[in-house]
Amino acid sequence: MSTGKVLLGVMAGVAIGALLGVLFAPDKGSVTRKKIIKTGEDLKDDVKESFNEFLDDLSEKFEKAKDDVSDVAGKTRSGSEKTEKEAKTSKA
């Protein structure tokens, strides 16, 4: 399972637990509504932060893969040039 899915599951569980705790708390309705709004805002911020971390991680992996492909292409190119030189030398 990917880290993003696990993190999302944990955050959803925390949010549901917090919401149920607020709903069953013996507070006035207006206080409970404020707590629900606050919990929703906190959850939104957490999801936004997690998504940004996920995008950063994905971007880093993409850049690494791009660099690896460039390295392999460079090695392949220099290897083929070396082979061409050897072939020309052996014909002469």
φ/ψ of 2, rounded to 5, equals -75, 155
Residues 11 and 50 sit within 8 Å (Cβ to Cβ): yes
**pLDDT by 10s per residue, the chain, length 92:** 677 788 788 888 888 888 787 778 777 878 878 888 888 898 888 888 888 888 899 899 999 988 888 888 777 776 666 666 666 666 65
Residues 40 and 16 sit within 8 Å (Cβ to Cβ): no
What residue ranges do the domains of the chain occupy?
A: 3-91
Residues 35 and 25 sit within 8 Å (Cβ to Cβ): yes
Quote the pLDDT of residue 82. 63
Quote the pLDDT of residue 3. 75
pTM over 0.85: no
Quote the pLDDT of residue 14. 84
